[in-house]
Amino acid sequence: ERMIVLSEAVGLLRFLFVDEVEIDPVSAEKQLKGTDAVEVLDAATAALSALTDWSTAAVEEALKDALVEGLGRKPRQAFGPVRVAISGRTVSPPLYESIELLGRERTLARLAAARTLAEQPPAG
């Protein structure tokens, strides 16, 4: 579900150019509900907050150590909530590069906002 034609780039890359990302409701329902998402987002926040080198390689190592090794999650379970927090969607450009481009402040703010969303009870 990645970009097929260049005209799709705007939609896929928009999250990099706005301060607050709009989270797709279907993506949120799929990836940001329950205690698992809160645990993943907390671990990701802690790992990224501790970084002194905000590079793609450092981000990748920190997240893999915290989420896959630390929490014992499979990559899809580990990175799904983080991807939605960062890009607002389940499909996005490569995650680690996106986080590097987004920068520390906006990344941590989006993780915090997604955690708040994950804590909300289901609608209905």
Q: What is the mean pLDDT of residues 59-73?
A: 97
- Note whether 23 and 109 are within 8 A (CB): no
Q: What is the mean pLDDT of residues 60-86?
A: 96
Q: Is residue 2 part of a domain?
A: no
pTM to 2 decimal places:
0.89
Q: How many domains does the chain have?
A: 1
The amino acid occupying position 121 is P
Q: Is residue 77 part of a domain?
A: yes
Whichever domain contains 72, its CATH number is: 1.10.10.350
Range of the domain at 28: 23-119
- For residue 69, CA distances in Å to 5, 52, 66, 74, 90 come to 36, 20, 6, 9, 22
Q: Is residue 10 part of a domain?
A: no
Q: Is residue 15 part of a domain?
A: no
The closest of 36, 119, 50, 48 to 78, measured between CA atoms, is 36
Q: How many degrees, rounded to 5, is the angle at CA 2 between CA 37 and CA 48?
A: 40
Q: What is the mean pLDDT of residues 48-64?
A: 98
